[in-house]
Chains A and B, each alone.
Chain A
Amino acid sequence: MPLLEIESLNVDYRASRGTVHAVEDASFSLNKGETLGLAGESGSGKSTLGLSIIRLVPYPGVIASGHVRIEGTDILELPESEMQSIRGRKVAYIFQDPMTSLNPVKRIGAHFVELIRTHEPNTSAADALGRAKTILESLGILAERINDYPHQFSGGMRQRIMIGLAITLNPDLVMADEPTTALDVIVQQKILDLLEGLRKVYGMALILISHDLSIILERCDKIIVLYAGQIFEYASSKELHRAPWHPYTQGLLHSIPNIELSDQKLSAIPGSPPDMLSPPKGCRFWPRCPYAMEECRVEEPELIGHEQSHFVRCFLYDKKAGSHIERNREG
């Protein structure tokens, strides 16, 4: 049984000006210990998809339909109290901005103690503090700093503390939402290394949410490319890097600078993501797509699996996928 199974999940934002389908018909699964990358532009629904896994989609967001199963249990049917015991213990979420993710009036140790005692009420505060110290040490933070306040730490250290909080209860799944966006490149590298190291030690599954496809390609087993709330492509990162199918994925990969090519011209994808209140008819990408055909403007493509592990939402790949792949890569 997969650790996480998402089946035709729809998440809507019901704003006063209309309904935005932030996540549309998302289906994928994740096994124990696997890493999955969610890539996409701002507003593509990455965070919404992530937050719906712990049922914390912010108002006015609603999980309209679908199933989210964690170890076979559909969490969308659980009462709130049981959901609370899943958050943090089974699934942990690391937020984007380390500077505001810690309570400014609480010492670091208190964050750990509260987390541990919320889920294990019988643990004494002293034991919890002891565990917190061990975790801090493993993050490369001196254990004696446990009584410091969040503002006494740098951004990178705070993000490490957030990671520490996420792994404290040894969850099966950790989601990291743009964990490195607020940090500089050197610290980024360290944080991602730390996350990967801890993941291996504890055998957790990881969902890495990022707009930076290069980070995800480097760190994840599987990749989901999201565009305007839809899964456009879903494949292993090796496969995606070798042969990206969707024109959008191709565009993304072309826009990553390569250090080995001296005369590389970076190509950008023309245009900008659609207004989600009134997305284009047909395929959501056609106004920006270099291969847009007549049917793209009329009909919406479905996510189709070609081979066992590669899925794409594009009319270029119907049955005779192979030939198109070659043609598109040339173009």
Chain B
Amino acid sequence: MKKTKTKLRSILSTLMPGLSSLSKRGPSGWMVLVGIAIVSSIIVMTAIAPWISPYSPILSRVGPIRAAPSLQFPLGTNQLGQDMLSRILCGGSLMLQVSALSVLICFLIGVPIGLFASYAGGMVDSTTSLVIDAVYAFPGLVIAIAIAAMLGPGVINTALSIAVVYIPSYFRIVRSQVLSIKELTYVEAARAVGAKWYTILFRYVFPNVIPSIVVVVTINFADAVLTAAGLTFIGLGVAKNIPDWGWDLTDGRQYLGSGAWWIITFPGIMIVLLALGFTLIGEGLSEMLNPKLQR
């Protein structure tokens, strides 16, 4: 018994070199671990879905309409007679793509703007902050809806509309960090040995901002998942012929009254799980990386 346990541990630690150091970090380390476990299993599940789905997720009438969970259809069927299990297995793909893409866009736009503007300081900084704060002042979902409605459906468009909402949070985090880091002695010391501005920005300031950005990225992932689901829910999501938890939630809603709880429950759980996974990683990391939050 003990042998298998140590063996399992060694397998796990070869798979995940950071495991031991994470689990030694106490509750926040475990939060991150659980979060990583949830998120990675959802990603793996979605990736191998085409091979493990018992039925085609888009073919209708593979079974009876709105059948309750049974041995043949473990998660029941929906109003079109599609197998819910297959749809759950495949349905994360769009959501993952949209959130990953939106995080990437946010990162590629928010971080450089934050770095350059706040390092330059003065007028550049205050003007940029003003513009970004104006965007930040809008309620997130409302602005996302407006942009999604303007751009129309599509993975990239949805990702863009989510990105616009979250660029300000990247900018603000990066700015606050840069403002404090650029006053530190090691930056002054670098300047005193003749380092050029871009060396200071990319070798001294940026690496020290990364820990904070990592936290924002994970929180941003969780929010992006929820926003993507929200956009789909009000009908602004990606094409309807691709299985998606958001669509299942939207379409299944009207059948809840007639007792078909399984159509919306399982997609809902998946969305919540995915968001929870990202949030756990984010909160755990921010607790670990920010000593002030530790008791």
Contact = CB atoms under 8 A, between A and B. Distances in A.
Contacts of B185: 95-97, 100-101
Interface stretch (A63-71, A80-88, A217-225): A80-88
Interface residues of A, number: 28
B207 A84 contact: no
Contacts of B208: 103-105
B240 interface: no
Interface in B162-216: 184-186, 188-196, 199, 203-204, 207-208
B196 A118 contact: yes
Contacts of A114: 195, 199, 203
A108 interface: no
Nearest to B183: A58
B194 A119 contact: yes
Given A95-B189, A106-B203, A114-B203, A100 B195 contact: no
B188 A95 contact: yes
B193 A105 contact: no
B194 A105 contact: no
B193 A101 contact: no
A142 interface: no
Given A105-B208, A114-B203, A92 B189 contact: no
A213 interface: no
B174 to A, nearest CB: 16
A165 interface: yes
Given A95-B185, A95-B188, A101-B185, A88 B194 contact: yes
Interface of B: 184-186, 188-196, 199, 203-204, 207-208
28 contacts: A56-B188, A84-B195, A84-B196, A85-B194, A87-B192, A87-B193, A87-B194, A88-B193, A92-B193, A93-B189, A93-B192, A93-B193, A95-B188, A102-B186, A103-B190, A103-B204, A103-B207, A104-B208, A105-B207, A105-B208, A106-B203, A106-B207, A114-B195, A115-B193, A118-B195, A162-B189, A165-B189, A165-B193
